[in-house]
């Protein structure tokens, strides 16, 4: 129709590595935040003679940090 301009919007797809990296980083951050909540149980467990919560928080923290590191390497630089 004359007089009507239609603008086309092109979809920009995120490369697979970037999406996977962002997902891994999100899961890693989630694990670390859950660790902060579980720190309250570490003191209570140690006071009661159990080190279950201590090891739980340590292992979950290491996994969270590893996911952050792997995710940042997979995501790459976001400035290019």
Mean of per-residue pLDDT scores for the chain: 86
Place of tokens 């720190």: 39
Domain spans of the chain, in order of start? 16-73
The pLDDT score that the predictor gives to residue 4 is: 73
Give the count of beta carbons closer than 10 Å to the beta carbon of residue 28. 20
Residue in this structure with the two tokens 């590893």, named with its chain if needed: 66
pLDDT tens string 18-37: 889 999 999 999 999 999 99
Confidence of residue 57 (pLDDT cuts 50, 70, 90): very high
Q: Which residue has the higher pLDDT, 13 or 72?
A: 72
Residue 1 has pLDDT above 60, yes or no: no
């Amino acid at each position: 129709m004359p007089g009507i301009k239609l603008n086309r919007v092109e979809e920009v797809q995120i490369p697979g590595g970037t999406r996977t990296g962002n997902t891994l980083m999100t899961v890693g951050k989630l694990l670390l935040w859950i660790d902060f909540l579980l720190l309250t149980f570490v003191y209570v467990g140690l006071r009661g003679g159990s080190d279950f919560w201590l090891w739980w928080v340590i292992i979950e923290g290491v996994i969270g940090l590893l996911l952050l590191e792997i995710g940042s390497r997979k995501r790459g630089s976001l400035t290019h």
